[in-house]
Structure 1
Amino acid sequence: MDDYKRMAVFAAVVQHGSMSAAARALGMSPSAVSQQVRQLERDGGVTLLHRSTRQIALTDTGERYYQQCAAMAQAASQARAELAAARDEPGGELRLSATVGFARHIAPALGHWLARHPALRLHLDVDDAPIDLIQSRIDLALRFGRLADSGWAARRLGAMRNWLCASPAWLQAQGGGAAWRHPAPLASMRWLGLAREGQGQALRAEARHPDTGETYSLQVLPHVASNNQLSIQQMCEAGLGLALLGSMDVADTVAEGRLVRLLPDWDFGGLDIWAVTPQRQAQPAKVRQAIAALQAYLARLPGVVDAPAPA
């Protein structure tokens, strides 16, 4: 490291034409600058500069050495500029991880922002399984629910509620479901559920009535199980049974009448929405701005609750 510093000092002396001018530019004393140059000459066993009381001149060896030192200083300056640009202006590749269900939101959430930054490339990794952000070189991941204590940085973007849903056709086959006011009769119905590794085959749900405070625990064996939430939603729309679905995913579907929300007076819990990054400090502009764009999108998305206001 000392050699690199001495090379930078030597290049500054040549560029500024004197030890004193280089010292002022570098914030050093003239004697310290002179000492750095002399140490270079001692280490190399050569003379780099001819010195007089009024001026300095490069030797032949010094001229060749200066070209290398100047190139090194320019490369270092360029590297610093690129670091500053990464901090202030999005560029390079943004590696983003999202669940299958959330992937459809990436284009409307980030499309306009990406269009404004043509130097930025997006790599989207879509997978419901947990991944190691470091090993997969992920800059930003969208995650739901309780986060593992990984040491990664996380920012809460909002939450979605669990809605109990069924298709109009399925409800009609059950007699319409208009008389259902309590979760208890649903235990004997045909359920669709998310299969999670290590959690057994049973589907468990906790329901609470906000007005009365009554709680009810539901445990059923799904007739159809999948490790993909989007598949569960599609099968629910196809009339295969009841399902607990994320409000963010089905708010539009319910509004369009393709699904019906059941027992809306009961709270079936929900999941927080998180932006997770592998580092806490010095986030590059591409990550900071992507999080801001996602936050703004979720704040206006039907079915998302408790979303913080965009900065």
Structure 2
Amino acid sequence: MNMEFDSLDRFRASPGAELGKGPFAVLVAEDSVALNNSLEHLRGLGFKAILIVAPVGMDVPAAPKSAKRRPPPQFVIRHPSRQSGAAEAVVNALIDKVPGVWIHYCYNGEFLFYPFCEDRTVGELVTWVMEERRDAVLSYVIDLYAGDLTTHPDAVDLDGALLDSSGYYAETRMGGPDGKTELDRQMDFFGGLRWRFEEHVPKPKRRIDRVALFRAKRGLRLGPDHRLNDEEMNTYACPWHHSLTATICSFRVAKALRTNPGSRHDISDFRWHKSEQFHWSSMQLMELGLMEPGQWF
């Protein structure tokens, strides 16, 4: 059974203690496509509670009963999930309620991978990251897509998912008061379907980097560009060595390109010579250079 808040305001007014202990996952359900799969993936990673943002009327599956282990509690926040700013509004509300707790956020049809996630829980991951005196894990959104768009017209095919094995690049991130200062250990990352079909993707949405796992603290804010207002938490590594990074494998862009009226008739196939079958494996992602284990072995 899911616990429900009938509005974001009602969630804001509730005591943070009723959520239990973290780390927490926030899943923004823009529709029901692969929603149950994303929820099951989050449960398997060991999140202690899952908050699901869904509009009134959307059916949200409850956590299945299991004789082996008790599933984490699910809290449904009724809020227009496709409304601009929905993700950051809910995440920022959660930040205010649970300072010191680790938070991951994603959308339906997205799946968090980190090094060795098949054998290590997200709790073990964040414990290691804190030992390295870091409060955030930079993540790269790697597009997944169906190979046969006739059979899977919405481009979502979990059993036959493909990804781009190359074509990723980074540019120096500029900032500061004048917008022309090179930011230390920050870069803008690009690639995947947003790069190959960039004519259909607005420029502000072409980046694939996202600070998708971080430790909440008072005054912290997530912005619409998936960056935090603490510049150190937007860095890809600490000053002294490489840091662990993660990957979010996502059908979200492929689904949008195939369902939006402005692009769906222009795209008949996402495959190219660098497409590769996705094996749902953290080792595959590390071997492709799409995430970094750092010093965690």
TM-score range, shorter chain: under 0.3
Higher helix share: 1
TM, length-normalised to structure 1: 0.21
TM, length-normalised to structure 2: 0.21
Q: Which protein is bigger by CA-based radius of gyration?
A: 1
